[in-house]
Chains A and B, each alone.
Chain A
């Protein structure tokens, strides 16, 4: 593997300050460390497995201050199609789970995230340039938000469903069902909290998801994939790709087996083209309001970022007529 001038192994991986990292670097230059760190290869997450991109391409991920952190996979359109296939395959099983079971499975993801808080905080701090305390706050909020959404699994049907008093002898009721395969273009700026705020709403009702992680800050998303892989969320339910937005968003928007799209993280210059492509097969869209600047949205604001409407955006309402009497 080509070396890309990575920072010394100890720097920035344990939440140490930049000064400490520089000191460690100085030491490393003088003498071999007592133990050579095993670096992590950041891969894609498709169908419950961690393949490299079939294209063999990568791109350098840098921290907020410009220091190289790692090589991330630059997923290809073929990787994306594989991810959609995996999501489609996983959909019937995930949708068929009981609501309570789905809620418990998702809650367990929060349990596992809690165990990795420090790792997430370090990665978020590096990715977003947040002070350690702020990064820890964002991670804690992300875990709590996951719990908030997980709890909706067995409630949303009662809140959004209805029985309808029709003027004829029929029992008439309306129930929500998951739409299917949902493409999520995750926020570019908020690497973990933003991602979780977009991923949880479609997931909790039984949709399966293909996520395009933040392009410049994808590493927390890959770590989230590791959490999901060791949770009880079945493989294929969540698929996470890293790579170039300009390359992948049009493929996702134009894919005929993707039923719905969360376009929150779509860059403004791709917005019209993305929505036009999505119209070709009547995809459901959850769009970021044009006035909302992606980078300035306050994901820490629970009132703004915890919305049952975002769950409802990926539900279909099914109305059933059943005769009463003869």
Chain B
């Protein structure tokens, strides 16, 4: 039996048991050793049968008693039943938030607000494993990612913004920063707790109160976060969590008691939300879709680039708005790069999200799996060349093989539309100008990657990318101090850093 070590070199032990061709065993040949399961313990998480809405510091059922189920996408089994909020519940939550803003939270000194946020950060750290397991169960993401990325970064966001709460007068020179009031925040299912922290931490630091709606397929970590708010003795109404379908989100957006709307999700819904605030004074920030180019020049360190490409598109099953879904490879290195990439793909382990060695977990929902399947079929139909490593998928659950398309044309749907799945489209270029042209030829502009050994070329390409985040010789890095957000139809406003704080304040004259 193979070692049970939690740190396993991903190149050595393919889950699929099929060897990469470079190993010289012959295509599709079984690897002569076994790979032992390394499941993370689930008993840290105590699931309730039913979860209520978190309004004014208490868990309450929906006003009409409605509920919906949330399932584990890896097993298709029901995890819990969650309250389905009504517009009356939204109204109650907004009123609670307004009361808290005007009576408690808005009157607290920055120092006191800071201490609450530090408390929350500490509790998230203390209960990190519990959050990681729950997040992986509800979303399908690999435990190594929820454990090493989502949860630590979420805690770090609260930590970072906690320190701003009592230093607002230094944040915006010549201006007084005042809270906007009550924020309606709607977050997606790909990074449920992390997106919650990106939304709630800066809002609270600036003195706002919030009504937050998690995605309907991933409500559980937000509801566990509500328990953290109780544990931190956060005043009632400062954070309110309502769960339900998209219509409830729109009811939040159009509620007259809202001062600020923050949305992360698809560009399509983002447009509807922007229309929902038309003609009002509500502040708006949108973090929407992407179709990032990951540009590899001929002088790039190829092995390092391969790791970056894999991290760029297969991280979190590719369900990442800033995923590097278009690989732009310089023509002279396309062949060795694709060969290396295919070898690397053979070692990617797809399977149980709670297995510590899993690289690619479950797709978040049946609907998303169907969308990925449909777009991949369009790629084949439009003439691109499909490559998927030989790997076995679990019998149940929503899984999709890491997928690579070569011979992709700019006009193909797989080169234009956001797939939000583990699907990479490879395009090529000859000159830097052509790379720029192709990279920017999209309605999106969230992120880009540049791989080259030449520093001056990096900085030149940085300047020519119409994208909000540019990673040089790396990809998919995030940090609470680092502003994140898009150009063009990838949205506007930034999250993270000082710029993320700006999205939650009104600036007045001194």
A-side interface residues toward B, CB under 8 Å?
159, 162, 164-168, 170, 172, 174, 179, 259, 271-272, 274-276, 278-282, 284, 287, 289-291, 303, 309, 316-323
B371 contacts the other chain (CB 8 A) = no
Minimal Cβ-Cβ distance residue in A for B304? A326
CB–CB B458/A282 < 8 A: no
CB–CB B286/A309 < 8 A: no
CB–CB B497/A164 < 8 A: yes
Residues of A within 8 A of B443 (CB): 281
CA distance A291 to B267 in the complex (A): 30
B-side interface residues toward A, CB under 8 Å?
156, 173, 267, 270-272, 274-275, 277-281, 286, 288, 443, 458, 462, 465, 467-474, 477, 479, 481-485, 487-492, 494, 497-499, 507, 509
Among B281, B465, B470, the residue within 8 A (CB) of A289 is: B281
CB–CB B470/A317 < 8 A: no
| Given contact pairs A317-B468, A321-B469, A172 touches B474 in the complex (Cβ within 8 A) | no
| Given contact pairs A164-B482, A172-B481, A282 touches B270 in the complex (Cβ within 8 A) | yes
CB–CB B483/A317 < 8 A: yes
Among A282, A287, A309, A321, the residue within 8 A (CB) of B267 is: A282
CA distance A322 to B462 in the complex (A): 10
Given contacts A282-B274, A318-B465, 20 further A-B contacts (CB under 8 A): A162-B497, A162-B499, A164-B479, A164-B481, A166-B479, A174-B499, A179-B487, A271-B279, A281-B271, A290-B280, A290-B281, A309-B507, A317-B485, A318-B487, A319-B468, A319-B482, A319-B494, A320-B470, A322-B458, A322-B472
Dominant SS at the A interface?
A: mixed
CB–CB A276/B278 < 8 A: yes
CA distance A287 to B274 in the complex (A): 13
CB–CB A284/B271 < 8 A: no
CA distance A303 to B507 in the complex (A): 13
Among A159, A276, A303, A318, the residue within 8 A (CB) of B275 is: A276
Residues of A within 8 A of B470 (CB): 318-321
CB–CB B286/A321 < 8 A: no
Residues of A within 8 A of B156 (CB): 167
Q: Which of B281, B288, B482, B494 has the most CB of A within 10 A?
A: B482
CB–CB A321/B497 < 8 A: no
Residues of A within 8 A of B471 (CB): 321
CB–CB A316/B468 < 8 A: yes
Among A165, A280, A289, the residue within 8 A (CB) of B481 is: A165
The 10 tightest CB contacts between A and B, nearest first, are A279-B274, A275-B278, A272-B279, A166-B479, A164-B481, A279-B275, A164-B482, A282-B489, A276-B278, A276-B275
A-B contact pairs, 17 of them (CB 8 A): A162-B497, A164-B479, A167-B479, A168-B479, A172-B481, A275-B275, A275-B277, A278-B274, A279-B271, A282-B288, A318-B462, A318-B465, A318-B469, A319-B468, A320-B462, A322-B458, A323-B472
Residues of B within 8 A of A322 (CB): 458, 472-473
CA distance A316 to B484 in the complex (A): 11
CA distance A275 to B477 in the complex (A): 34
Minimal Cβ-Cβ distance residue in A for B490? A282
CB–CB A282/B482 < 8 A: no
CA distance A83 to B275 in the complex (A): 26
Among B267, B271, B467, B507, the residue within 8 A (CB) of A318 is: B467
Chain B nearest CB from A301 CB (Å) reads: 10
CB–CB B484/A282 < 8 A: no
Chain B nearest CB from A102 CB (Å) reads: 16
Minimal Cβ-Cβ distance residue in A for B270? A282
Minimal Cβ-Cβ distance residue in A for B491? A282
CB–CB B483/A164 < 8 A: yes
CB–CB B484/A319 < 8 A: yes
Residues of B within 8 A of A271 (CB): 278-279
Chain A nearest CB from B373 CB (Å) reads: 28
Chain A nearest CB from B471 CB (Å) reads: 5
CB–CB A272/B484 < 8 A: no
Chain B nearest CB from A77 CB (Å) reads: 22
CB–CB B494/A317 < 8 A: yes
CA distance A284 to B492 in the complex (A): 7
CB–CB B488/A321 < 8 A: no
Q: Which of B472, B491, B492 has the most CB of A within 10 A?
A: B492
